[in-house]
Amino acid sequence: KDAGYVDRLAGSRIANAVFSSLLIPLVFLGCANVCGGAVALLAAMLLAFDPRHIGMSRIAHIDSVLTVFVALSLGLYLCAVA
């Protein structure tokens, strides 16, 4: 059996949780440029307390990492267009 499996799994879950928490400020900054501060704060708070986002952040899976990269690319596109 692989003795380090549990350590690698825990490390990847922690890294995924930290990385997917970056989505909340990205949503805030993206919405603040488009919709204004109050709407951006509401969107960031809804995302921060979304059970699906919290659940996917705890799993060592690629979905939350891809969500962060899609939000980042959309934000960079909107900055380039403006």
- Global pTM? 0.80
DSSP codes of every residue in 26-75:
HHHHHHHHHT-HHHHHHHHHHHHT-HHHHHHHHS--SHHHHHHHHHHHHH
Which tens digit of pLDDT belongs to each residue from 1-24? Answer: 677 888 888 888 998 999 889 999
Confidence at 28, pLDDT banded by 50, 70, 90: very high
